[in-house]
């Protein structure tokens, strides 16, 4: 006990929304909690997904005993296919969580993964660590928190949670289970997403009431867009459609997959005879049709975006349609969602979204709920997790208000090592915890330098200068020719390019007149001469690529 050390290392999810990944490490073993992805930011040109950096896990893979997934959202599961390519370890999750994971792994061709189903109120031994699972209410069924028993006390991890007193499935967050660790918890790691939101979050059933009202008064076809994983939201929409005897079509690959999985596993009850194929709706009265669609985040290729842009195979938005966007934009997606809303309005639809109607509530706890969790668990130490840095700071302030000493509140960043022992906590070590970019089939082969080049290309374009040099006579016999893209129009800037060519000719001639000709110096001089000239004349810095051909 005196020598026992427990290390908690966030590899993702702190100071950001997404790519959640947490390492819990004892002297002899290590477990990983969640393995998520993140939406790429606008300036990450060409990037498809952003994953945590697995390097620390890779370097200690002999200690890795398992991966626990708290729930089925992509910001907690999206990196799992990439992780399991390297580490053949058990993955623990609840029934729906594993159902969604199974479908995702199949898409990646990962065969026979070691998936282990768990249930709330179950205790599991992973190595020497005892893990207790606690049911939590969130915006997807079957979410769990964790209480991990260690010689120093319990590590309590809330997962993503809220205290909804009347959840759609009748399964609220287990107050009693969390309070059972009061005074026994070494540390609490708690969801910070809504730490800025005062009061209590609204119940999910309040959205159902709004959906029933909007669907009931709709004159024509209803299209509702939501997260494909929000099974309770989809259930309430389907129930509302059934009241008006509307037929229901599911649109979008991820929505079709998730509805199928949730229905098969018993988490979604589709009204009998209500489900039809999207193609059948073309011949139905619009007032008897509801579509459940992907696209709530404004994804360019989503079903809703294609409907709004009149490029969907079966559905064009027309006057009389009612479109309900039942989700909040994930940070970074606001512009995309606004663009889709504008297109929907232009097409003549009636559009309802969070800013103008009660069609969404968050699945994350607000301030009073966060205080309640802190008071239920009464941990010795507190680590706010899952949120941008300001969310973590606000959560830390809440913890201080309920009586946790400031010195015991640990606001960390990705890569911080929090090492607990009988003597207290140390936090002076860091490990690598950056981002891994997925670009097409490439994983991790795109680094910061490539992203920076893409940003420069998007901002100021590129110029290629081609010069042919006779190495024997040290004479320029071809060019300089300048080809540009995304910089300025060549036809309309002939004078600028003529002057640029003259500058390059002069710089290269000067270097060729020297006794020793160095090709590296020639290329650098060409690049710097053009860069200086273009900046002086245009205040732009295009990427300059000199191509010197020797004959």
71: annotated active-site residue: no
φ, ψ for residue 188, nearest 5 deg:
-110, 130
Which residues, 6+ apart, have CB-to-CB distance to 280 below 8 Å? Answer: 247, 249
Residue found by looking up tokens 């915006």 in the block: 139
- In the 8-state DSSP scheme, what is residue 423? T
- Which of these is catalytic: 71, 73, 76, 364? 364
3-class secondary structure, 273: coil
Angle between helices 519-538 and 494-512 (to 10 degrees): 150
Residue found by looking up tokens 């690049």 in the block: 527
Question: Which contacts of 194-197 are long-range, i.e. CB under 8 A and separated by 24 or more positions?
Answer: 194/362, 194/364, 194/365, 194/366, 194/367, 194/370, 194/391, 195/367, 195/370, 195/384, 195/387, 195/391, 195/392, 195/394, 195/395, 195/398, 196/367, 196/390, 196/391, 196/394, 197/362, 197/366, 197/367
Beta strands in 222-352 (DSSP E): 222-225, 247-251, 289-293, 322-325, 350-352
- Which of these is catalytic: 142, 160, 191, 321? 191
The tokens describing 73, both together, are 């959202």
Residue 374 in contact with residue 398, Cβ under 8 Å? yes
Burial (CB < 10 A; 0-12, 13-18, 19+), residue 311, is: exposed
191: annotated active-site residue: yes
The tokens describing 359, both together, are 């069609």
Closest residue by Cα to residue 317 from 212, 238, 224, 221? 221
In order, the DSSP letters of 491-547 are GGGHHHHHHHHHHHHHHHHHHHTSSS--HHHHHHHHHHHHHHHHHHHHS---EEEEE
The tokens describing 245, both together, are 């005897």
List active site positions: 191, 364
């Amino acid at each position: 006990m005196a020598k026992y050390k427990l290390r908690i290392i966030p590899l993702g999810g702190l100071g950001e929304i997404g790519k959640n990944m947490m390492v819990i490490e004892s002297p002899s073993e290590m477990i990983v909690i969640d393995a998520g992805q993140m939406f790429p930011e606008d300036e990450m040109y060409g990037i498809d997904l952003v994953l945590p950096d697995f390097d620390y896990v890779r370097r200690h893979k002999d200690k890795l005993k398992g991966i626990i997934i708290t729930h089925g959202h992509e910001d907690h599961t999206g990196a799992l296919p990439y992780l399991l390519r390297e580490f053949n370890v058990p993955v623990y999750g609840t029934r729906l969580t594993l159902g969604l994971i199974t479908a995702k792994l199949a898409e990646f061709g990962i065969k026979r993964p070691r998936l282990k189903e768990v249930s709330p109120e179950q205790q599991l031994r992973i190595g020497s660590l005892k893990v207790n699972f606690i049911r939590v209410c969130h915006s997807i069924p079957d979410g769990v928190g964790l209480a991990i028993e260690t010689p120093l006390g319990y590590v309590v991890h809330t997962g993503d949670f809220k205290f909804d007193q009347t959840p759609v499935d009748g399964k609220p967050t287990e107050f009693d289970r969390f309070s059972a660790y009061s005074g026994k918890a070494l540390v609490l790691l708690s969801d910070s997403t809504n730490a800025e939101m005062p009061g209590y979050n609204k119940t999910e059933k309040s959205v159902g009431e709004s959906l029933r009202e909007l669907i009931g008064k709709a004159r024509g076809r209803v299209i509702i867009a939501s997260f494909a994983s929000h099974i309770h939201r989809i259930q309430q929409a389907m129930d509302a459609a059934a009241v008006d005897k509307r037929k229901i079509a599911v649109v979008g690959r991820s929505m079709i997959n998730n509805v199928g999985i949730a229905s098969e596993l018993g988490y979604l009850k589709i009204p009998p005879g209500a489900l039809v194929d999207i193609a059948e709706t073309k011949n139905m009265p619009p007032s008897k049709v509801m579509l459940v669609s992907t696209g709530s985040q404004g994804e360019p290729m989503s079903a809703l975006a294609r409907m709004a842009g009149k490029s969907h195979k079966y559905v064009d938005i027309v006057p009389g349609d009612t479109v309900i966007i039942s989700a909040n934009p994930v940070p970074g997606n606001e512009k995309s969602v606004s663009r889709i809303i504008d297109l929907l309005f232009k097409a003549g639809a009636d559009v309802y979204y969070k800013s103008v109607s009660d069609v969404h509530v968050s699945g994350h706890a607000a301030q009073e709920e966060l205080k309640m969790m802190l008071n239920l668990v009464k941990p010795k130490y507190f680590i706010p997790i899952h949120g941008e840095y300001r969310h973590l700071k606000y959560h830390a302030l809440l913890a201080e208000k309920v009586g946790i000493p400031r010195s015991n509140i640990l606001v960390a960043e990705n890569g911080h090592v929090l090492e607990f022992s009988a003597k207290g906590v140390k936090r002076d070590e860091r490990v690598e915890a950056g981002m891994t970019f997925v670009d097409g089939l490439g994983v991790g082969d795109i680094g910061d330098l490539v992203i920076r080049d893409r940003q420069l290309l998007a901002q100021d374009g590129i110029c290629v200068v081609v010069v042919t040099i006779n190495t024997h006579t040290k004479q320029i016999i071809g060019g300089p020719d300048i080809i540009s893209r995304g910089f300025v129009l060549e036809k309309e800037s002939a004078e600028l390019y003529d002057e640029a060519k003259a500058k390059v000719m002069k710089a290269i001639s000067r270097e060729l007149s020297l006794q020793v000709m160095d090709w590296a110096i020639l290329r650098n001089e060409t690049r710097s001469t053009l860069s200086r000239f273009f900046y002086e004349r245009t205040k732009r810095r295009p990427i300059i690529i000199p191509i010197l051909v020797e004959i």
